[in-house]
Structures are given as C-alpha cells and as structure tokens.
Amino acid sequence: MDTTEIKPLSLKLKVFHVVRYFLASMARVFCTLYYGKKGEKLPPITDDILKQPAIEVARRIRNKEITSVEVLEACIRRIKDVNSALNCFVEDRFELAKREAKEADELISSGSMTAAQLENEKPLLGVPFTTKDCIAVKGLHHTAGVVLRKDVIAEEDAESIKLLRSKGAIIIGLTNVPEICMWWETHNHIHGRTNNPYNTTRIVGGSSGGEGCLQGAAGSMFGIGTPVQDIGSDIGGSIRMPAFFNGIFGHKPSRNIVSNAGQYPMPKTDLLNSYLGLGPMTRYAVDLKPLLKIISGDNANKLALDKPVDIGKLKVYYQFSNKAPMIDSVDPDIKAAMKKVVEFLNLKHKIVAEEKQIKLLQKSMPIWMTTMKNEDPFESLIMAKKGTMAIVVEIFKNLIGCSGNTLIALFTALMDRSGAPVGSPRYNHYLKLRDSLEKSFVDMLGDDGVFLYPTHPTPAPYHNEPLFKPLNFCYTAIINCLGLPATTVPLGLSSEGLPIGIQVVANHNNDRLCLAVAEELEKGFGGWVEPK
C-alpha cells in the first residue's frame, strides 16, 4: 500500500496552476470559435481488406484467397485518398514494395512451401506495414523531423524492421513525427502538421502521431512506433497517446525487450534506453501479440506470450485520476468508459476490481523529467549551436518565421537546462521516489494483476492547444519510468465524436496480460471505429 506523504501545494504552484487553467480555458474558447466546423471529411473505406486484422490478411494471402499485390494496392489507394487531408504519410517506397509483393505472390504460387510452412517461417508474408520517420528504413530518409537531418538517408534497416521483413512483411513507407520525437503534437518544419482522421482540426498525438493517424484511417495493415511518443517508439507515451487519439490499439512493451537499434535519437545511457521501447500499433487487438513476438526477437521467450491467460482469475485495480497539479481533470466520458469496463469485467468474469489512490502518481511529472535528464544538452540534437543564448536567439527567429526549429522543441531545449542537475541531491530524491513507486506497482500487480488507468485526461485537443496543457502526457510518461508494459485500448467515441479509451498496465514481462485484456475489451466494446 502506498503510504507516501504528499505535501500540500505551495502558494507559488497553486498560482501557476490557476494561471495555466485560465490560459487553457481561454485557448479552448478561442480554438472552438476559430476552427468551428472547418474539419475535412475523409472518404469512406472502400476496400474491405483494410477492415480485417493483419494476421487474417496474412492467412488469406498464403491460402491464395487474395494476393499480396491486391492488398498493397488497396493500402496505396487509401493513403492517396486520405493523405491530402491528414498529412500523415511522408515518404513512400511503393515501387520497391510492389516488386516485393509480386515476389511474395510468386513464392506462394510456386508451391515450394506449404501454407503451414509459410505460417511457421513467414507468418506475415505479403502484408504491408509502415513505420515512423525516426526508425531507420534502408534507402529512405531518417530525419526524426529535424531540419538539420533533412538529407540523412538510412543505410540499413532498424533491428525491428529487419525482424518484420524476415517474416515476410513489406514496408511501404514512413509516417510523420514531431521534431526530434519529443512532443505530443505531430508537427515539424520538414513535413508540416498532421491532422486527426476523426476531426482534422484536432491533433494526432506524438511522437508516433503520423503512424497512429494512418492506422486510424486504415492506410496500412499495421505499424511500428516508439514509446517516446506502426512499429512505434515510446519514452513518454509516444505509442499509447497516438493510439488513444486515433482510436486504435498500441502496446508499449516491458523495458529492454524490443531492441532500439536503428532508432534516432538513440538513448546514450542504459537508464534512458530502458525507458524507450518500440512496439506495435494496430486496429485490431489480435494483431498485437504476433507482432510483439516477432519484434522481440530472442527476448520473446521472456514474455511467455503463448501462455494462456484466464481473464476471470486476474486481479484488477484501477484509478480514475492522479490529481497532479498543472494537469487537466480527467474527462467525464473517459471516467464513464472506465466505469463501464469495471462493470463489464464484473458481469462477465465476476471480477471485483479494486479502486486505488496511489499518491506517488501525483509526482509523475517531476519523476519523469528527472529521469529524462541527460548530461548532453537537448539543443545539440536540433541546433548547430549550443548554449542558452543560442536557444533564445533561435526562439526569436522562430517568432519571425526564420527558424528551422519548432517553438516547442526550442522551449524543450530551454527547459532541459533547468531542473535538477544529474547526480544532485534533488535528482537522487526523485530517482528514489521512482524506485518506491515501481516497488508499489510490482507488489500490487504480482504475476496476475492489471492496472486500469487513463491514457490521457482528455480526447484529442485542437491543434496547438497542447501548448497550454503541456504536462497532460504524465499519465503515459510515468509508466515508461517504471518500465512496465502497457496497452492502450479504444473504447468508442466521446460525445464530441473523438476516440476515447484507457491503458492496461501489467507487471514486468507480463505483457500477455495486457494483450489478453485488450482482446477481451475489444470483444466487449467494439475496438476500432471507422472514421466517418
């Protein structure tokens, strides 16, 4: 049980909290008036193959019910149909992908391998997928949204891409990211801003925002993302937030399970490397486990993904809010959705979920910001010059439209120069709080527990609105600090027609519990909803 004493907010922090709330409220009023009903409508999905799980598409390809070329062409058509409105897909390898799809079909037609052999050796044969522009794909740009890297071309595939291609999957292109993948709205000065498929005046999240958007719009069969923000990547919620905002499933694996080789920027310490992780982003929960098994490589055996999970024997805990300062309140639609999940598990599986009030979660942001500190200055990743004055000059240039950097990346660089220095007493204090919080979760979850928690306090905000609520990503960020696996599960649409959902968290290397609960909730609540 968490018995940590949380001191009352200081007067200074209370003032900051009130001012931030006022500014955020004014920003919402302005955005509502400015955007009105300006959002573009997407064309409907005309190819039914795009509405099927990737593993089902793979089965149909190897059984000659449909060809890889047909699936690829359906993805290309969909990308071309939606990208002018969404700006999520930034570079293609369509011609190479067509050649690879044709080769996959020829292999199947040759009869040199049975369907059973193909399923065992190349379970994703002929299935198209995408990844974001910070994960290396040989021959494509590898910019991470940084203007200084706009001409960088990847010389080889990232490890996760190699593993997927070895199993027959076909990479078709790259999706958009925020500058240096360190913000939760996808926008950079190379490719511009990405729009939400459910309402193009809203954000898609970050850093796997373009990937989450493309998956939500049914532009490829699956993606990889990174949990900084598909295969995707995640260091503060970069898989789960875009999955949440775009109405799909996204899984952040347990720490040190999926290789980060080929990701830019690469963490320079083992500690930071343990917070970052690549993971699958899909429209269907059933695809998560086979994809995770592949990209985990030799570490897959640590997860025992094929071990059966009896949902009825799980212990379920939940918490509606962390009540942290400077963070928005959790939206009533999200709270209502979580209550429905608790009721569903009780009615179907006789599970009596236990509500928790883990006080240390109020310290999510200072813990995350401390653990993200690095001895190398952040601006060295995005600017030619270093130093506080160089950042200030670049901010001024941004305000007059002369900077290659986004304003939020420059403010992040400025913030990085504040806070507790690495190794200082304050720094060590927050590391100890992190360790204490991790122990609380480990003791609570054991090997048969899951924790239900908001992925984000609100549905997708309007463009630029995150500037007035910058710390709202704390609900995902803290899970990275703890190294725990977590899966974002869509639970329908809000009263505004935007996706909502929750994240399911389990103990270290118990990813299969998250995935099993995700599949169960998909059956109960419908999962991904086609954007209308």
Residue 207, preceding bond cis, omega within 30 degrees?
yes
What is the enclosing helix (H) or strand (E) of 20?
Answer: helix 11-35
Distance CA 306, CA 315 (A): 20
CA 398 and chain centroid, separation: 28
Q: Which of 238, 274, 321, 403 is labelled catalytic?
A: 238
Region of 283 please: left (phi>0), alpha (psi -120 to 50) or beta.
alpha
Rounded to whole angstroms, how far apart are CA atoms 462 and 474? 19
Catalytic entry in 68, 122, 132, 296: 132
For residues 122-146, one letter each, b for 16 or more C-beta atoms within 10 angstroms of the residue's C-beta and e for the rest, the string is: bbbbbbbbbbbbbbbbbebbbbbbb
Torsion of CA 297, 135, 206, 392, to 10 degrees: 130
DSSP string, 262-289: TBSSPPSSHHHHHH---EEEESSGGGHH
Active site residue 296: no
Half-sphere exposure at residue 185, Cβ-oriented, CA atoms within 13 angstroms: 27
Other CB atoms within 10 A of residue 111 CB = 7
Catalytic annotation on 238? yes
135 DSSP β-pair partners: 263
Q: From the candidates 122, 138, 162, 207, which is the catalytic residue?
A: 207
If you search the block for the tokens 């486990």, which residue do you land on? Answer: 289
DSSP result, 63-115: TTSS-HHHHHHHHHHHHHHHHHHH--EEEE-HHHHHHHHHHHHHHHHHTSS-H
- Are 90 and 174 in contact by the 8 Å Cβ rule? The answer is yes
Decide: 191 and 161 in contact? Cβ < 8 Å.
no
Could you say which DSSP state residue 174 is in? E
Contact in structure between 185 and 205 (CB atoms under 8 Å): yes
| DSSP output for 339-380 | HHHHHHHHHHH----EE---GGGGGHHHHHHHHT--SS-GGG
Residues that are catalytic: 132, 207, 238
